[in-house]
Amino acid sequence: MLAKSCMRHQILVTLDHLRPKDPRLSLGAASVVANLIQRQIPHSVFSGNVSLEEDIDATVEGICSQILSVGSQKGPKCDVILGTFVWNEPYVSNIVEKLRMSQFPGRIGLAGPQISYAPKGSLESLHKDVDFFIRGYAEDVVVAIANEEAEPHGVHWQEHGIEMNRVRPTSCTCLRRT
C-alpha cells in the first residue's frame, strides 16, 4: 500500500434529503467512508440536509468554506467528490461554481445516480467545470483515485471526453472487519 503522504486527500460531499429519524449520512456515502477508513485513505466528509430549505443556502456556503479550507491545506493533492441526486443537483452545481470561482486547487468529481444513469456523452456539456465522473459503485473507485491509479474502472475523465473504463462490480469483502 502507498504511504499516506502519497495519496490524494478525498473530500466527500453529500447533500441528502433527510427525514427526522434518518442517519446523518446516507448508506451509500457511509459505505464509501467505511472503505476509505479501512484502507487508511486521508479524507474529509461534509454533509447537509436539503429538506431544510430555509437553511440550505447557509449549508452550501458552510460546505464550500470547509472544502476550501481543506483545499488550502492540501493543495492540488486533493479531490472533492459530490454525490449527485435529483433533489440536490442545483446545490451541487452551486458548490462546483463557487469552488471554481474561488480557485479550488484540487480536482472536482461527481458521483451518484444522476451521473450513473446519465446518457453517454451528456455529462461534459452539463457539467463543464467538473474534472471527472464516477459511474456505478464508488467504494473502490474513490480508493483508486486517491492512489492515483492511471485508469480506475468506472471513472469518466472530462479532459478525455470519453468513458475510460466500464464499471465493474465492487466486492463487499473489502468492507468486512478483520
Task: Beginning with the edge strand found earlier in the chain, give each strand of the sheet holding 9-16 in spatial order.
Answer: 43-49, 9-16, 78-83, 107-111, 132-134, 155-157, 162-163
pLDDT of residue 110: 95
Contact between 88 and 116 (Cβ < 8 Å): no
Q: What is the pairing mode between strands 9-16 and 107-111?
A: unpaired
Distance of CA 115 to the CA centre of its chain: 11
Task: Count Cβ atoms below 10 Å from residue 162 Cβ, excluding itself.
Answer: 10
What is the residue whose three cell numbers read 458552510?
62
Given a cut of 70, whether residue 175 has pLDDT beyond it is no
Whether 149 shows a pLDDT value over 70: the answer reads yes
Task: Check whether 102 has a pLDDT greater than 70.
Answer: yes
pLDDT tens column, 56-93:
888 899 999 999 999 999 999 999 999 999 889 999 99
pLDDT, tens digit (0-9, with 9 covering 90-100), for 13-59: 999 888 888 888 888 899 999 999 999 999 999 998 888 767 888 88
Name the CATH superfamily for 4-175: Cobalamin-binding domain (3.40.50.280)
pTM of the model: 0.84
pLDDT at 177 over 80: no
Domain ranges of the chain: 4-175
Q: Please give the pLDDT value at position 4.
A: 53
Calculate the alpha carbon distances from 99 to 68, 120, 130, 161 in Å.
Answer: 7, 26, 10, 22
Q: How confident is the model at residue 5 (pLDDT cuts 50, 70, 90)?
A: low
Q: What pLDDT score does 27 carry?
A: 85
Look up cell 483508486; give the residue. 144
| pLDDT above 70: residue 146 | yes
Q: Can you give the pLDDT at residue 2? A: 46
